Amino acid sequence: MERINIINIILENMKKILSVLLLAVVGMTAGSAYANGVFAKNDLLGSITLGFGNGFGQRVAIDYGVVDGWLDGKASLGVGASVNNTIGWDFRYDAISVIANCSFHYQFVDKLDTYVVAGFGGGIAMAENHFGGGIDWTSAVGLRYYFSPTMAFNFEAGHTAGCFVNLGLTFRL
Indicate if the pLDDT at residue 94 is higher than 90. Answer: no
Bridge partners (DSSP) of residue 121 are: 99, 136
Query: What is the reported pLDDT for 2?
Result: 54
Computed over every residue of the chain, the mean pLDDT equals 82
Residue 132: the pLDDT is 81
The structure's pTM equals 0.75
CATH topology of domain 2-172: Porin (2.40.160)
Query: Does residue 143 carry a pLDDT above 90?
Result: yes
Give the amino acid at 80: G
- What pLDDT is recorded for position 8? 59
